Chains A and B, each alone.
Chain A
Amino acid sequence: MSDTHDHAHPHNRKLTDPELRVKALETLLTEKGIIDPAAIDALVDTYENKVGPRNGAQVVAKAWSDPDYKQRLLEDGTAAISELGYSGIQGEDMVVLENTDEVHNVIVCTLCSCYPWPTLGLPPVWYKAAPYRSRVVKDPRGVLKEFGTKLPKEVEVRVWDSTAELRYMVLPKRPEGTASMSEEELAELVTRDSMIGVTEALSPS
């Protein structure tokens, strides 16, 4: 145990390296029959390799290509997203927010780090960290600028704080010059950050 962590824990335990604590806890839970470590392996594989922002990009590209789908998506995000099979843990109740020339949406969870896992995957560190959570509700334009996103003054910036069990994702504006592009090509322009709302979708040029 390192000296820097050698101070009292609130529950009278000594803090140790998280690696050791995790190993001890997993061993104990396994020994007691509470968990099967193979289930953890399967979950890790799922969120490392199967569930991620490419799912959300498919949703966005379909909405850009299919006006009926877009309407369903904005009216009932949960149902429209489940049409593509991207439902589940931390995406049970979804709301999709459309960015337009007049309105720019951005999502946050100031109280913890709520995030739409089935469409965007697990959140990046900056989304979970104090600087973003503390600042984006008060100075969204300043935060967006740090992501290279500058919005005209007349655009309304809407910040959505995920304080309940609704999970939000942004439908970014379809970039200019993409009229002839297929859904697959469009999906390549949709980044994770554009679905959080801190950037716009990529330009094809």
Chain B
Amino acid sequence: MNGIHDMGGMEGMGPLEIEKNEPVFHHDWEKRVMGMFPTTFAAGGYNLDEFRHAIERMGALEYLDSSYYEHWLHAFETVLVANGLISADELSTGKADPNAEKIEPALAPEAVPKIVSHGASARIDIDAKPKFKEGDMVIVKNINPSGHTRLPRYVRDKLGCIDKDHGVFVFPDSSAHGKGEKPQHCYSVYFSAQEVWGAGASANDSIFVDLWDDYLVSARDDD
């Protein structure tokens, strides 16, 4: 979706605010929100793409006016209800439905070191055929889906070059909407700064964006 989150190249967002000796967290509630991520993820609350899409669906004003961990909080409140782990009534009253089945937490404190050091790769171990190889010239599709996509606006319809094939990964546009993993190759794609931003950009500079097969077409006339 063409949401406020897709901000590469926008102007008017104000100056950088760089804090010296910044603490890891600024408020105690941020710590709890951070810790809710691995714990509710382990409980099967959502996949990463659903989580990101919940943030993207925030109102633009609210998104800009709130912090990173408020975005996360919004995502938990949205996606845990949407996926049925909690009900809207439970969220608004703050009380568990006495008739609901009580479960055991999926992530025990003792398992935290293991989860932290293993994570959950989105790489998929299958032998899918890549559409492109390193050095291929590609054009990014000009698509404007209303759902989740990881194709930023600023490279749509631009000419790029496949720099590296990273292998096969979950396709977020599908995974965010319960339509399966649709595994496909994901590449690092090179764009010259001038291709993206025009002749005013530095002739020396470049941008690399990770893009999936479904976002790309060949730039060769005979394809």
- Give A contacts to B, CB under 8 Å: 10-11, 13, 15, 18-19, 21-29, 31-36, 38-44, 46-48, 51-52, 85, 87-93, 95, 108, 110-113, 118, 121-122, 124-126, 128-135, 137-138, 140-141, 143, 146-147, 153-166
Contact = CB atoms under 8 A, between A and B. Distances in A.
B36 interface: yes
Nearest to A164: B210
Give the 8 A-B residue pairs with the shortest CB-CB distance, closest first. Answer: A40-B35, A110-B8, A164-B210, A92-B121, A130-B13, A36-B105, A165-B122, A42-B112
A65 B36 CA distance: 39
Contacts of B206: 156-159
A22 B6 contact: no
A10 B59 contact: yes
A37 to B, nearest CB: 8
Considering residues A140, A146, A159, which has the most beta carbons from chain B within 10 angstroms of its beta carbon?
A159
Interface of B: 5-11, 13-19, 22, 24-29, 31-36, 38-40, 43, 45, 48, 52, 55, 57-59, 62, 64, 67-70, 73, 76-78, 80-81, 85-86, 88, 90-92, 94-96, 100, 102-109, 111-113, 115-123, 150-152, 154, 166, 169-170, 172, 186, 188, 193, 196-197, 201-202, 204-212
B82 to A, nearest CB: 10
Given A28-B94, A35-B43, A156-B205, A44 B118 contact: no
B109 A134 contact: no
Contact of B38 (A34, A89, A92): A89
Contact of A137 (B9, B95, B211): B9
Contact of B112 (A46, A121, A143): A46
Contacts of B109: 36, 38-39, 41-42
27 contacts: A13-B91, A24-B94, A25-B36, A29-B40, A34-B45, A36-B39, A36-B108, A39-B35, A39-B111, A42-B113, A43-B116, A44-B32, A44-B35, A93-B122, A111-B6, A111-B152, A112-B5, A122-B24, A125-B22, A126-B16, A129-B13, A133-B7, A141-B202, A164-B122, A164-B169, A164-B172, A164-B210
Given A18-B73, A34-B85, A161 B152 contact: yes
Given A42-B113, A138-B154, 14 more contacts: A32-B100, A34-B86, A34-B103, A40-B39, A48-B31, A89-B118, A93-B166, A126-B18, A134-B7, A138-B8, A146-B16, A155-B204, A157-B202, A161-B208
Nearest to B187: A164
A16 to B, nearest CB: 11
B91 A26 contact: no
A141 B200 CA distance: 13
A108 B7 CA distance: 11
Contacts of B207: 137, 158-161
Contacts of A21: 73, 77
A91 B117 CA distance: 9
Contact of B70 (A18, A85, A113): A18
A28 B80 CA distance: 12
Given A35-B40, A156-B204, A111 B31 contact: no
A90 B34 CA distance: 13
A40 B201 CA distance: 45
Contacts of A19: 27-29
Contacts of A113: 68
B204 A39 contact: no
A132 B13 CA distance: 9
A164 B172 CA distance: 9
Contacts of A110: 6-8, 152, 154
Contact of B24 (A22, A26, A52): A52
A11 B117 CA distance: 36
